[in-house]
Amino acid sequence: MPRTASVRDYIRTIPDFPHEGIMFRDVTTLFADPRGFRMAIDQMLHPYAGEPIDKVIGLEARGFILGGAIAHQLSVGFVPIRKKGKLPGAVISQDYKLEYGEATVEIHDDAIQPGERILLVDDLLSTGGTAAAGIKLIEQLGGEIVSCAFIIDLPELGGRKVLEDLGMDVYALCAFEGA
């Protein structure tokens, strides 16, 4: 990598995955490189320096990797939002639309206390469906969302607008054109 590399430089693009015509943005190459991973975490933290945050919530699955590292740096707790059926104990659920149908995400019903300030993180913002479902769960438990932070935004898919229409602050480290 050049000395002035950006987070974007560490992200691999895989054409035609998982379907023909899709340009898959693979962050595992970013995570695997210690300099790239540190850069991403540091840059995701930067806008929230001095901001009171009580918990970081990560969306399954790559949001867990980012969320755990960010929560550690902020010295706050981490909470996962998981696919249906993956969490033991009492949960609340939220359905959302996918390109090919519907899915459901869940959170423990005691994971957030009313009034706690939350940073929601994931690797990629595409249509915004998963993040919007996560926002609804957090709000149902009384959490106040400080911001939604992502490594990658795919602007053409409209996720940023979906989240901003829900009143969310949205932050992304980089953007890629196309799907």
Cβ neighbour number for residue 4 with a 10 Å cutoff? 6
pLDDT score, position 100: 75
Q: Pairing relation of β-strands 101-108 and 91-98?
A: antiparallel
Contact in structure between 179 and 156 (CB atoms under 8 Å): yes
Does the pLDDT value for residue 32 go beyond 90?
Answer: yes
Phi, psi of 39 (to 5 degrees): -60, -45
**Lowest-confidence range among 17-21, 71-75, 111-115?**
17-21
Residue 156 pLDDT class (50, 70, 90 cuts): very high
Active site amino acids: 62, 99
Residue 4 pLDDT class (50, 70, 90 cuts): confident
Q: Pairing relation of β-strands 144-153 and 117-125?
A: parallel
| Side-by-side strand order, sheet with 170-175 | 91-98, 101-108, 77-83, 55-59, 117-125, 144-153, 170-175
Does the pLDDT value for residue 2 go beyond 90?
Answer: no
Q: What is the pTM of this model?
A: 0.95
Tens of pLDDT, residues 85-119: 999 999 999 999 987 789 999 999 999 999 999 99
Task: For residue 75, give both structure tokens.
Answer: 């010295």
DSSP three-state, residue 123: strand
Cα distances (Å, whole numbers) of residue 143 to 6, 12, 52, 160, 173: 33, 35, 13, 20, 24
Q: Give residue for tokens 């995400």.
A: 105
As its CATH architecture, domain 52-175 has 3-Layer(aba) Sandwich (3.40)
Q: Is 75 exposed, middle or buried (0-12, 13-18, 19+ CB in 10 A)?
A: exposed
Task: For residue 169, give both structure tokens.
Answer: 């602050």
